[in-house]
Amino acid sequence: MSPALSSAPGIEAALAALRSPFVPGDQTTFISDLTVGELVLLEEIGYRPVDIVSGAGTASWNPQFTTSATEGNMWGRAIATAIDHARSGIVEELHRRRADGVVAMRFELERERANLLTCTMLGTAVQRISRGSGDEHPFATTLSARDFHLLVRGGYRPSGIVIGVSVVGFAARSAAQSLGLARDNAELSDQTTALYSAREQAMEMMEREAQGLGADGVVEVQLQERPVNALLTHAVEFIAVGTAVHRGPKGHQALAPEFQLTLDDQPDTTFDR
């Protein structure tokens, strides 16, 4: 360590450091898309950045020769395959770099042509500063460094990103409706049940993944839904994504927040956009 390192932080010392040439090689290097503040938050809960890691997966499906009942399943399977390949790719990379996890992971799902779909993930791999004995499965999470810090201080740790997918396709209108017999201002129970069940199935698949990881729960669940594509407007896909968490041995740790009055904050609306 050069003697300059013991000086107090300040602009003079910082600029002085830039006047002497850098000697590469005698310190551990890292690459991260986080800010320095976020790196310090990680350091305070015992993690340091290692490198950028990424994963990618692509899958396609066959819209021909299938009946409408199986269409949804095939598309759902393609989504799950693409996501799964990206996730196992990034976890493999974590193993290779002897990292313990990846935080603030970017998770993108992009449709290409009608039946092609690509999933990509990218984030900063982190390593525990004091290596534990237990060789735990590395985790991947979309939680920001700040939320990761908070979660660990609150007595939990992330165990991985968990995903559930389901697709439902159904006839646009029932026979009665197309004849104009449907009652106005009444519930359409078939459609209600179809969408309701599909949503539940996506949640169930996600929960099963979390149970497979031995997690205690899942936080920041996002339930996305959208029509499958322009041709199949009568099919809706549901994707549930969340971060599975483990409760630590001591359980929930009190954070005891303090009330604060910010003088420039806007209230956010929570409903009915």
Partner 1 sequence: MTDIPQQQLPEDALRRLRESEIPGGRRLFTSDLTVNEFLLVEEAGFTPLGLVMGSSIYQIGLQTRKWSQSTELDKLTQAMYTARELAMTRMEEEADVLGADGIVGVRLDVNYYEWGKSTAEFIAVGTAVKAKDGSSWRNAEGKPFTSDLSGQDFWTLLHAGYAPLGLVLGTCVYHVAHRTLLGTMGAAGRATELPNFTQALYDARERAMTRMEEEATRLQADGIVGVQLVEKSHMWGSHTIEFLAIGTGVRSISDDHVVPPPVPVITMDR
Partner 2 sequence: MVASAPDSGSARPADADGGIGDLAFHPVSRERRTWTSDLSVAEAAAVRRVGLVPAGFVMGTAVMQLAATGGQVFGQWGGLGGPSVGGGGGYSESYPCAHSYAIGGGIGFGGTAGGAAEHYGFNIEDAVLAASLTEGYRLAIGRLRDEATEVGAHGVVGVDLLFENLVGSTGTATFFARGTAVKHPGGAPLPSPFLTNASGQHFERLIALGYVPAGIAVGVGSVYVQPNCQSRGDFTVPGSNQQIPRAILVARARARDSLAAMAHRVGEGVVHTEWTDRRVNRYAESWDQLTVAVGTSVRRYSTEAPPLDPRPVLPLRP
- Interface residues with partner 1 (CB under 8 A)? 143, 147-148, 150-151, 154, 172-173, 182-188, 191-193, 195-197, 199-201, 203-204, 206-208, 210-211, 214-223, 225, 227, 233-234, 236, 242, 252, 254-265, 269-273
| Nearer to partner 1 among residue 57 and residue 242 (C-beta) | 242
How far apart are the C-alpha atoms of 192 and 93, rounded to whole Å? 43
Strand partners of residue 107: 121
| Nearer to partner 1 among residue 87 and residue 149 (C-beta) | 149
How far apart are the C-alpha atoms of 68 and 190, rounded to whole Å? 16
Contact assessment for residue 139 and residue 124, using Cβ atoms and an 8 Å cutoff: no
In the bound complex, what is the minimum distance in angstroms from residue 230's beta carbon to partner 2? 14
In the bound complex, what is the minimum distance in angstroms from residue 175's beta carbon to partner 2? 31
| Binding at 127: pick from partner 1, partner 2, none (beta carbon under 5-8 Å per type) | none
The Cα angle at residue 178 between residues 180 and 199, in degrees rounded to 5 = 115
| Binding at 191: pick from partner 1, partner 2, none (beta carbon under 5-8 Å per type) | partner 1
Read off the amino acid at residue 28: T
| Nearer to partner 1 among residue 100 and residue 207 (C-beta) | 207
Characterize the bridge pairing of strands 156-169 and 235-247.
Answer: antiparallel
In the bound complex, what is the minimum distance in angstroms from residue 254's beta carbon to partner 1? 6
91 closest CA partner among 213, 201, 203, 202? 213
| Binding at 196: pick from partner 2, partner 1, none (beta carbon under 5-8 Å per type) | partner 1
How far apart are the C-alpha atoms of 147 and 144, rounded to whole Å? 5
| Nearer to partner 2 among residue 1 and residue 181 (C-beta) | 1
| Binding at 1: pick from partner 1, partner 2, none (beta carbon under 5-8 Å per type) | partner 2
241 closest CA partner among 171, 161, 141? 161
| Nearer to partner 2 among residue 25 and residue 180 (C-beta) | 25
| Binding at 52: pick from partner 2, partner 1, none (beta carbon under 5-8 Å per type) | partner 2
To the nearest 10 degrees (0 to 180), the angle between helices 145-153 and 36-44 is 20
How far apart are the C-alpha atoms of 34 and 37, rounded to whole Å? 8
| Binding at 76: pick from partner 2, partner 1, none (beta carbon under 5-8 Å per type) | none
In the bound complex, what is the minimum distance in angstroms from residue 174's beta carbon to partner 1? 11
The Cα angle at residue 127 between residues 123 and 132, in degrees rounded to 5 = 145
| Binding at 3: pick from partner 1, partner 2, none (beta carbon under 5-8 Å per type) | none
| Nearer to partner 2 among residue 58 and residue 174 (C-beta) | 58
How far apart are the C-alpha atoms of 101 and 109, rounded to whole Å? 21
